[in-house]
Amino acid sequence: MLGERELEMRAFVVASLSALVADPDRFLEALGEHWPEKKPRGRPPRAATGDGSG
């Protein structure tokens, strides 16, 4: 996608980070609809075994 527009990935990342630093609220608001859902972190809870150990 960037290549089709003759843009480089590194330049895109630098420009994105610069925009974030310049105006974080506006940048994050624009990004909001594209933000992925939070994924659970850590180990999943152990299943109850019914023997009182879990």
Is the pTM above the cut of 0.85? no
Residues 30-42 have pLDDT tens digits of 999 998 998 888 9
Residues 1-54 have pLDDT tens digits of 988 999 999 999 999 999 999 999 999 999 999 989 988 889 888 886 656 555
- Token pair of 24, please? 């974080």
3-state secondary structure the chain: CCHHHCCCHHHHHHHHHHHHHHCHHHHHHHHHHHCCCCCCCCCCCCCCCCCCCC
Domain range annotation of the chain: 3-33
Residue 47 contacts residue 54 (beta carbons within 8 Å): yes
